[in-house]
Amino acid sequence: MTPYSEAELAGGWEFKIVRSSTARFRKPEELERLLAEEAHAGWTLVEKFDDHRVRLKRAAGARERDSTLSFDPYRTVVGMSEGKMTALIVSLVLGAVLLLLLLIWALKG
């Protein structure tokens, strides 16, 4: 992990980490799409941690243009949220178990 420099911390920079529960940043075109959109709010890439997380920074003065944006410049999640992902996985597992139980019941009867 890249540490913050003294100049960045004292120089009026904002930082954020954007997450994707579906490993969206594995695909270069998806990462480029995110970075292009975030650039409208003044954010630039600091580092890509992995396929799920990237760190961005921008000058604090860039927030003056936030009201003109069509998205939340402080968003930290893109794509499906972790809660929705969990609900989807639980639903699929429960559905598979129910289907298996119905199949067993049908074969016994």
Query: Per-residue pLDDT for 39 more than 90?
Result: yes
pLDDT digits (tens, 9 = 90+) for 66-90: 999 999 999 999 987 778 888 889 9
* Residue 90, token pair as written in the block: 């639980």
Query: What is the residue-averaged pLDDT of the chain?
Result: 91
pLDDT at 83: 83
Reduced to 3 states (helix: H, G, I; strand: E, B; else coil), residue 48 is: strand
* Residue 88, token pair as written in the block: 């989807």
Q: What is the pTM of this model?
A: 0.74
When pLDDT is averaged across residues 44-72 and rounded to a whole number, the result is: 95
